[in-house]
Amino acid sequence: MSLKIEDNCISCGACIPECPNDAISEGDPVYIIDPELCTECVGFHEDPQCAAVCPIDECCILDPEYTETQEELLAKKDRIHPNG
């Protein structure tokens, strides 16, 4: 399942360098997460790093429109990073 950034985002940018898949970019008016690139940090970290570093509670949340299993997230990670 991809994460999404809610409207309470303050566009501080803290999440961008934490994403191992470069899935986060500036949006208008809040940052956005590309669901084709988001793996919830599976294969890299135990928890999604965008949510961990975000200064706003409940800003980076799971997006129910993009449900994926752990196996699907790992396969996506392998497609994005074929050499490790």
Tell me yes or no: is domain 3-80 CATH 3.30.70.20.
Answer: yes
Contact 23, 33 (CB under 8 A): yes
pLDDT per residue of the chain (84 residues) written in tens, 0 to 9: 899 999 999 999 999 999 999 999 999 999 999 999 999 999 999 999 999 999 999 999 999 999 999 999 999 999 999 987
pTM value is 0.93
Residue boundaries of the structural domains of the chain? 3-80
* Rounded alpha-carbon distances, angstroms, from residue 40 to 24, 28, 29, 35: 12, 22, 23, 10
Distance of CA 51 to the CA centre of its chain: 8
**E-assigned strand segments in 1-84:** 3-5, 24-25, 32-33, 60-62
